[in-house]
């Protein structure tokens, strides 16, 4: 093998390792005493050697989820507890609140409590890189007897697009998991667009919040990944979906 070929292979391996690293994410599923199922996801853009520290640990006990993060000497530097309380009556609702975990480090102020609906997906900003302002998020979905699904994994932490940013679906092909549901579907452009898939219904995407839409889609490069019901879908296009590089949240609705 020539030197040039060897160098090319090494570069390919390094790039692949970088991509795999950048896709770091951990999923946990918890069954709480109140009957709720929690899909808990932690994203990390940290270096490979730091990933375990950035993820920390996530455990559940009773109706509580404990999160803690440790440094290189196994010292916990951040710990918090999420209490998920089922509220009485119908429809099913929950109250989520946060409190310190033991005497470990905590935020300046805890997150204000919120009430959520059955099946809601919640995002919690946890860490911030002072130099860049980038944040590390946890997301979790809480529900009883409803369709639930982990959010798809992007190569980078998704950001919010400019409201009304143009979405481009050029020669889209729709997949559910690895199963192809339609190829070379009609192309469309706009801040709010739809794709009609024979036998599957209409999938609508928007770069701004709209009634009936859920922010459960991520556009990255030529790929649009989203959750609908209890399935993960993806749309593969022939050109970038948004004009700006990176991963971007979009709103999705299936009819």
**Residues from 93 through 152 that contact other proteins (CB under 8 A):** 96, 98, 105-114, 116-117, 119-130, 135-137, 139
Instruction: Compose the 75-104 pattern: x for residues touching other proteins by CB under 8 A, - for all others.
Output: --xx-----------------x-x------
Least distance from other proteins to the Cβ atom of residue 198, Å:
28
**Residues from 44 through 63 that contact other proteins (CB under 8 A):** 44, 46-47, 50-51, 53-54
One-character DSSP codes across 34-99 = TS-EEEEEEE--S-GGGHHHHH-EEEEETTEEEEEEE-TTS-EEEEEEEEEEEESSSS-EEEEEEE
Radius of gyration from C-alpha coordinates of the chain: 20
Taking CB under 8 A as the criterion, the residue among 26, 93, 176, 214 binding other proteins is: 214
Question: Residue count at the site for other proteins (CB under 8 A)?
Answer: 52
Q: Cβ distance 35 to 86 under 8 Å?
A: yes
Least distance from other proteins to the Cβ atom of residue 195, Å:
20
Question: Which is nearest to 251 in space by CA: 205, 212, 211, 220?
Answer: 205
Question: Which is nearest to 57 in space by CA: 26, 34, 21, 97?
Answer: 26
**Residues from 190 through 209 that contact other proteins (CB under 8 A):** 209
Q: Which residues, listed in sequence order, are joined to residue 31 by a DSSP beta bridge?
A: 37
Chain contacts with other proteins (rule: CB under 8 A) = 44, 46-47, 50-51, 53-54, 69-72, 77-78, 96, 98, 105-114, 116-117, 119-130, 135-137, 139, 160, 209-210, 213-216, 249, 251
């Amino acid at each position: 093998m020539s030197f040039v070929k060897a160098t090319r292979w090494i570069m390919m391996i390094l790039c692949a390792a970088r991509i795999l690293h950048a896709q770091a994410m951990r999923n946990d599923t918890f069954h709480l005493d109140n009957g709720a199922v929690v899909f808990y996801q932690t994203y990390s853009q940290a270096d490979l050697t730091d990933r375990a520290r950035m993820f920390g640990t996530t455990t559940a006990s009773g109706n509580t989820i404990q999160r803690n993060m440790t440094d290189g000497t196994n010292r916990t530097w951040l710990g918090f507890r999420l209490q998920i309380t089922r509220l009485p009556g119908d429809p099913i609702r929950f109250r989520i609140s946060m409190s310190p975990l033991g005497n470990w480090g905590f935020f300046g102020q805890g997150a204000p409590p919120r009430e959520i609906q059955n099946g809601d997906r919640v995002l919690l900003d946890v860490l911030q890189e002072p130099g860049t302002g980038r944040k590390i998020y946890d997301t979790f979905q809480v529900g009883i007897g409803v369709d639930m699904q982990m959010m798809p994994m992007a190569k980078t932490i998704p950001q919010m697009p400019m409201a009304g940013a143009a979405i481009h679906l050029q020669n889209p092909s729709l997949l559910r998991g690895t199963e192809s549901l339609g190829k070379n579907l009609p192309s469309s452009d706009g801040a709010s667009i739809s794709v009609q898939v024979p036998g599957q219904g209409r999938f609508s995407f928007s770069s701004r919040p709209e009634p009936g839409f859920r922010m459960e889609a991520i556009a990255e490069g030529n790929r649009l990944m989203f959750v609908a019901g209890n399935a993960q879908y993806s749309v593969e296009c022939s050109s970038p979906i948004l004009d700006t590089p990176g991963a971007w949240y979009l709103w999705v609705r299936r009819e």
